[in-house]
Amino acid sequence: MKKRIITISREFGSGGRTIGKQVAAQLGIPCYDKELIEQLADETGLAKKYIEEQGEYAPSKHPFTYAFVGRSMNGMSIGDYLWNEQRRKILELAERESCVIVGRCADYILRERDDVLNVFVHAPKADRAKRIVELYGETDTEPFKRLQDKDKKRAVNYRYYTEQEWGCARNYHLTLDSSAFGIEGCVEMIIRAAE
């Protein structure tokens, strides 16, 4: 395999996590998603739930959200500490082994490596709304609002830590519509692109 590290960025409900896991399984390499959260929790002492939410999502969907976050005397917030630890861990994994990494700005963190394939998975809102209800069930918040909130918080977090636009095609080698190609079709295309 020419590209030995594959990063999967994704819209909420697009199936990106599932695609990443299937790509890893077919290639016989590890997939780091929840596994990365567990390793970070063990190494930092931070709660898994905190890492899951704050490691990929901004505290709110407003662009100025980070201006109001508490900071220590050295100017670092707990979110900055988590970013640095995630970055360190992702660089360590990429150096150590072939793998698939889902989310966590891994595409940006590994941008200087030439053995990385960066993928962005998206889908129409109606299809994503249907998928999140099927996977996670109904909540008090309407599905389209859930999608909008999660994606906006991911975009704000991505912009803050990378100074780039999340989901912008030029930041990735491959962007795929999981509704148009299906989960299996996306998996096949990613594997072919990584060869």
How does pLDDT run along the chain (195 residues), one tens digit per residue?
A: 567 999 999 999 999 999 999 999 999 999 999 888 888 888 888 888 888 777 665 554 455 454 445 545 566 677 788 889 999 999 999 999 999 999 999 999 999 999 999 999 999 999 999 999 998 888 878 999 999 999 998 998 899 899 999 999 999 999 999 999 999 999 999 999 998
Give the predicted TM-score (pTM) of the model.
Answer: 0.86
CATH assignment at residue 20:
3.40.50.300
Nearest to 178 by CA among 100, 101, 122: 122
User: Can you tell me the distance from the alpha carbon of 156 to that of 167, in angstroms, rounded to the nearest whole number?
Assistant: 11
The angle subtended at Cα 14 by Cα 103 and Cα 64, nearest 5°, is 55
| Tokens describing residue 139 | 């909540």
| Tokens describing residue 134 | 């099927």
* Greatest C-alpha distance within the chain: 50
Number of domains in the chain: 1
**Cβ(135)–Cβ(146) under 8 Å?**
no
Domain, as residue range, for 61: 5-194
